[in-house]
Structure 1
Amino acid sequence: MDGIQRFDSFDGTPIAWHELGEGRPLVLIHGYFSDANTNWIKYGHAAILAEAGFRVIMPDLRAHGQSGRPHDAAAYPADALAMDAEALIAHLDLDAGCYDLGGYSLGARTVVRVLARGHAPAPRRVILSGMGLEGLLDTGARAGHFRRVLTGLGSHARGTPEWMAEAFLKTTGGDPVALLGILDTFVDTPRGAIAGIGQPVLVAAGVDDDDNGSHAALADLLPDARLVEVPGNHMSAVTKRELGEAIRDFLTA
């Protein structure tokens, strides 16, 4: 099945998702300021995985892409993104051990929150890409960076990380008000909860990506992890074919 579908999440916010391929379900969650098309479809990752026999399910996070973009602060409770993922997994009737779950950047953080909360059926395998250990333990630093981006639009000096983030925001047509709400949903995950993830985990990141801390430290903390570095930094690694190939090779090993 291909195309875009929608359902109403835990609080009625409409969540859109894209699908490509048939086979074992694989839920992939995109990063902040992005959307499913930009992270997973545009650069061929979804096609690589569909060709390998997966039903690739790619939601647009609330406030992103073609999902609802509410401006009401009540739409952004703590762990809202994890609750959206749990609602999608329930809507799709995915059973424990019968699907895989992964994400890039904020998507990876959302996956960790789903696992830490323990409300959804447990996936077979897990992909954490574009994420380091510090970005899970302490979400405040990253939230602060993006809050500066969104509250200072048009004022950032050319070439700074804030300027580059704003430039990316323009390419995806993001809604600054809704995206500010997302920052209020961030929840830190304790070290012990991360170390308690028992599934095989792929930790994949650009070799020059330190935006969310150390991906090597994250892999070291997990009991069953494979670390793969692909070319690029946080912004460019997700455009590299090697990322999709690393996910495919991990899931089919």
Structure 2
Amino acid sequence: MTEATTEFFPGFGGAQLALHRLGQGRPVVLLHGLFSSAEVNWIKFGTAARLSEEGFECLMPDLRVHGKSAAPHEPEAYPQDVLVRDLEALVAHLGLVDFDLVGFSLGSRTSARAVVAGLKPRRLVLGGMGLEGLAGWARRQDFFIDVIDRFGTIRPGDPAYLSQQFLKSMGVDREAARLLLGTMADTDPAELGAISMPTLVLCGDKDDDNGSAQRLAEVLPDASLVLIPGTHMSSVTVPEMGREIAAFLSR
């Protein structure tokens, strides 16, 4: 299998953001989760390879503050919905017109916000996301800010412990991450009516970190729900992730 290549493109404000590519064919943009990276969410466990085998070109940015992308410390680098602006910059940079969009967790949140703002992918996949992760984001934001503020002192048994350990293992810049968390607002469920393209809500059967995937699928105009094995952390590691995304995008 051909290995992914890496290049850089200018995001909002000129921030240099990493883009990893794998495969040839129909373009699909894949956005990873909070504190993660394209490598961990899409490449390491074979999801991108499965999609490339099915005839897709995987376009996988590292979100601002993540992976190989810039993590500026200037507050002006973090306007509201800056990740949406970065996604819009990527689409413009590549000249994408007919493409699919896949997100996981924070990537799903960014994807949904981008579509509400006017982005028009052919098909959309929202992985690891429930209705409350969009409409009640403030609670999740407070949780992650607490992880950053108590970093290094959180002990096993604390609900924040696993997030602390993941943040540590990924080497995320905590100062920049705190600024990024402040750019995210709740999404009114009424706004989700703008997500009119066929949408797959894809979630681990033991994942309720972002609320109810069932409720999210119910409020979207044209959505189906598929459950795969796993928790929020483990569902990205199973082959069913790539299989279900490929099947949905190939219809």
TM-score, normalised on structure 1?
A: 0.96
Give yes or no for the alignment of 1:213 onto 2:215.
no
Letter in 2 for 1:5: E
Note the C-alpha offset of 1:102.
Answer: 1.2
Q: Among residues 88, 91, 95, which one is paired with 1:89 in the alignment?
A: 91
Cα distance between partner residues in 2 of 1:246 and 1:221: 21
1:251 maps to 249
Counterpart in 1 of 2:64?
A: 62
Q: 1:129-144 counterparts in 2 under 5 A?
A: 129-144=127-142
Letter of the structure 1 residue corresponding to residue 103 of structure 2? G
> Percent of pairs identical after alignment?
48
Which structure 2 segments of 5+ residues have no match? none
C-alpha offsets along residues 102-153 of structure 1, whole Å, 9 cap, x if unaligned? 10000000001100111x3x11000000000011012100000000000001
Find the aligned partners of 1:183 and 1:164 in 2 and give their Cα distance: 18
How far does residue 170 in structure 1 lie from its aligned partner after superposition? 1.8
Tell me the SS of whatever aligns to 2:14.
coil
Task: Within 5 Å, give how 1:80-229 maps onto structure 2.
Answer: 80-95=82-97, 98-118=98-118, 120=119, 122-229=120-227
- Greater shift after overlay, 70-79 or 35-44? 70-79
**Structure 2 residue matching 1:88: 3-state secondary structure:** helix
Q: Give yes or no for contact 1:116–1:189 (8 Å, CA) kept in 2.
A: no
**Displacement of 1:10:** 2.4
**C-alpha distance after superposition, 1:40-79 (max 9, x if no partner):** 0000000000000000000000000000011111111100
Amino acid at match of 2:235: A
Between the aligned partners of 1:247 and 1:159, the Cα distance in structure 2 is 34
Q: Deviations over 1:136-173 (max 9, x none)?
A: 01210000000000000111121323110011112211
What does the per-residue CA deviation read over 1:199-244, in whole Å, with 9 as the maximum and x for residues that have no partner? 0001001011111100000001111111110111111111111111
2:46 maps to what in 1? 44
Normalising by structure 2, report the TM-score.
Answer: 0.97
How many residues are treated as equivalent by the alignment? 249
1:16 and 2:18 correspond: yes
Structure 1: 4+ residue segments shifted above 2 A: none
What amino acid is the match of 2:183? T
Query: Can you give the 5+ residue segments of structure 1 that lack an aligned partner in the other structure?
Result: none
